[in-house]
Structure 1
Amino acid sequence: MARDTYLFFLLILITVLMHYFTEDFVAFFKELAKNNHKDWFHENKKRYETSIKKPFEAFVGEMIREIQQLEPNLQIEPKDCVLRINRDIRFSKDKSPYNLHYTAFISSKGCKDKSIPGIFLRFSPEMVGIMGGCFGPSKEQLHNIRTAINKSPKTFRNLLEDKDFVQKFGEIRGETMKRIPKEWQEACEKEPLIANKQFYFVGEEAPGLISSSVLVEEMMTYWQTMRPVNEYLLKAIQ
């Protein structure tokens, strides 16, 4: 009986530990939306640490460990992936000091270099956003991506038309060139995405997933689905 009791409580403990976030994660940001000023935030600083910052870092740490099982060369810490809650208001008309979501960019360079393909996560009361691809490639990287696609348009197109990719992400997004240079005009006729200046894609889940016990499992499913496209883009820019 003692052994059965021990296993019962162990199972409860494991189940609890699988939940990185409580429902207060969503509640905190809903309240912040109505009180987006420093006084309220400072009054709720301990709550922020307990319900948002610490569990998010623990969650990102677990995501990194899961990815490392398939990509051992990924050497990054949660602190290098998690973006600050403070908004950059220097050039914004909206002077609200805090973001109404919490985000992380998990890649070999973390949030320091968003041109490196990885998985970008944004948790908010409205949704769980899951993004991948190249958000801000340099001029040289962009040229390399276009060159790679132009060499074999079908290879890239086959990745994008994979049924799992389409189901979770839909299609590649990004700004496009307003005027297509002569050197790329023929290539763009074969594959219009060559005109893109960004190559990213977005998936979305309901916010209830944040406090779910299958959060990491679901996020890793998204990571596995985006992996072939991310690897293609990474190889191209390198």
Structure 2
Amino acid sequence: MKNAIAFLKKLKKNNTTEWMHAHKDEYQTAKKEFDFLVQELITRISSWDSRLPFMEPKNCTFRINRDIRFSDDKTPYKTHMGAFFSYGGKKSDLPGYYIHIAPNEVFVAGGVWMPEAPSLLKVRRHIMNAGDELEAVLKNSTFKKTFGSLGMDSALVRPPKGFSADAPHIEFIKLKSFVVMKKLDVSDVMKPGFGKLVDKNFKLMKPLNDFLYEGLI
């Protein structure tokens, strides 16, 4: 990932359309390098998660162009590369595995992030009915040591409509996203076994994705 990291560092300092057009070849080299990693991860994940559909890197990777229509930040490009390996495609509400690479931040994540209202309701009802299964996943010693628990940043202050404050597992029902994350060392990106390291973390996320999938199908 040497070329990708080098390019992203330059882009962060020169985030303009003019600069990008002048350095299109560098971007293509960086993109090919990232796509190679994505293809490796598709192959690895497919070997242990049969729910992952057939896909190519273009089905997983996100555009580097930013949507600036409703943002005060008008810089045209993202300064990171990301890919989401989802059971239903990168824009679906089904669970999946995400990798994020930037010059100063590298992390992996898994689960369901900000699902649409119908899917969110399905997950919440599933937690209400089968929350003990979720608790078992989160309390697994290896899972807990690696990821902690679900990210609580998206939690509502009050229970969502239709759910009682004393409902079992209400702290999870209040969430709007059901995601775990682990930061990796930026230096890991440059090591030959980076794909294997990412895959190892993704594999640990599978029980969470299994639980969420059961609530969404």
TM > 0.5 fold call: yes
Opposite residue 202 of structure 1, the aligned amino acid is: M
Structure 1's 187 and 236: CA in aligned 2 closer, same or farther, altered over 3 A?
A: farther
Q: CA deviation at 1:152?
A: 3.1
Query: Quick check: which one's helix share is greater?
Result: 1
Residue from 181, 200, 203 that aligns with 1:221: 200
Which stretch of structure 1 is more off in the superposition, 164-173 or 225-234? 164-173
Tell me what 2:40 maps to: 62
For this pair of structures, how many residues does the alignment match? 215
Q: Deviations over 1:94-153 (max 9, x none)?
A: 11011010010111333222x211111110011211111111223222222222222233
Q: CA deviation at 1:41?
A: 1.4
Q: Is residue 2:181 matched to residue 1:206?
A: no
Tell me what 1:193 maps to: 172
Tell me what 2:17 maps to: 38
Opposite residue 150 of structure 2, the aligned amino acid is: I
| 1:6-155 equivalences in 2 (<5 Å) | 21-22=1-2, 24-50=3-29, 52-73=30-51, 74-113=53-92, 115-155=93-133
Q: Deviations over 1:142-192 (max 9, x none)?
A: 222222222233221110121222222222125223432564124546441
Structure 1's 190 and 233: CA in aligned 2 closer, same or farther, altered over 3 A?
A: closer
Aligned CA RMSD, in angstroms, stands at 1.8
| Structure 2 residue ranges without an equivalent (≥5) | none
Q: Is the 8 A contact 1:26 1:124 kept in 2?
A: yes
Which consecutive aligned stretches of 4+ in structure 1 deviate over 6 angstroms post-superposition?
A: none
| Structure 1 residue ranges without an equivalent (≥5) | 1-20
Q: Is the 8 A contact 2:113 2:179 kept in 1?
A: yes
Compute the TM-score of the two structures, normalised by the length of structure 2.
0.91
Opposite residue 63 of structure 1, the aligned amino acid is: L
Compute the TM-score of the two structures, normalised by the length of structure 1.
0.84
Q: Is the 8 A contact 1:153 1:191 kept in 2?
A: no
Q: Is the 8 A contact 1:85 1:99 kept in 2?
A: yes
